[in-house]
Structure 1
């Protein structure tokens, strides 16, 4: 059984990422003209600061220079944190998104926009916003009902403003 380049890179880089108390979320190798681009996405419970990405980038670059994991050709290394609207694919992603608004696409069809109130091993407790002046309702969604999910960007949350007043 052959190992893909991404799997080899994950095995090589995961210890470096873990040493910085970060989670290795994604590795992607793509082409940009004659060069290849190695994109590495990392995250943590507290998020990732720019300095941590820069420090990790230097460590990864040194490790890749010691090995032939990227071959002989030129490549560009990008180390970043996930975007604010990243997909929720792992249990830890849902836990980190607790309190946030998310758009869920369900296997049975349809989509649901709701605030994640709690996460356990089986699924999510949600608050579905009321429509046209109605009160919000509670809903439980099991993980196996979710086809895909993504955090929704909120520029102005009512409950945050009410807390400050």
Structure 2
């Protein structure tokens, strides 16, 4: 499946494959993101092109499959370093492999770690604490909406 998506994304280098999920019911979900996001019109084009490519492969001879192509929603955890880079400046909730939770502003990301700025205390006692977290210690990272 990945080999069919790669050539489609070459048309727009700022778009990248995040994940493919295939359920036992032959429901295929493809998550595509972009450095500046991905428009609905582009997702529709990807869907049409990929649907045609899957039909041509003959993997599902009876046409017994469904395809969803979308960008990952806010409920989907960040998976790729490129997604972390795209979301620098946003608030995140990080769950570490040891069960520890950390919420804060994502201030940086590189190949091996993230930097998150956590607010501790309130009012005059409020302080910002910077944490560097190794990617290898992270179970999930999700974007948090702050108002």
Query: TM-score band (shorter)?
Result: 0.7 to 0.9
Match of 2:17 in 1: 24
Counterpart of 1:138 (choices 117, 121, 130) is 130
What is the aligned length?
144
The secondary structure found in structure 1 opposite 2:107 is strand
Say whether the 8 Å CA contact 2:74–2:142 is kept in structure 1: no
CA distance in 2: counterparts of 1:127 and 1:38, whole angstroms: 37
Say whether the 8 Å CA contact 1:85–1:152 is kept in structure 2: no
1:17 to 1:69, Cα distance in 2 relative to 1, 3 A:
farther
More strand by share: 2
Which has more radius of gyration?
Answer: 1
1:137 to 1:40, Cα distance in 2 relative to 1, 3 A:
same
1:43 aligns with 2:33: yes
RMSD, aligned CA: 1.8
Q: Which runs of 5+ in 1 are unaligned?
A: 1-8, 157-165
The secondary structure found in structure 2 opposite 1:144 is helix
Match of 1:55 in 2: 45
CA distance in 2: counterparts of 1:84 and 1:108, whole angstroms: 23
TM-score, length of structure 1 as denominator length: 0.77
CA distance in 2: counterparts of 1:17 and 1:63, whole angstroms: 14
CA distance in 1: counterparts of 2:79 and 2:50, whole angstroms: 25
Q: Which runs of 5+ in 2 are unaligned?
A: none
Report which structure shows greater RCO (CA 8 Å, sep ≥6): 2
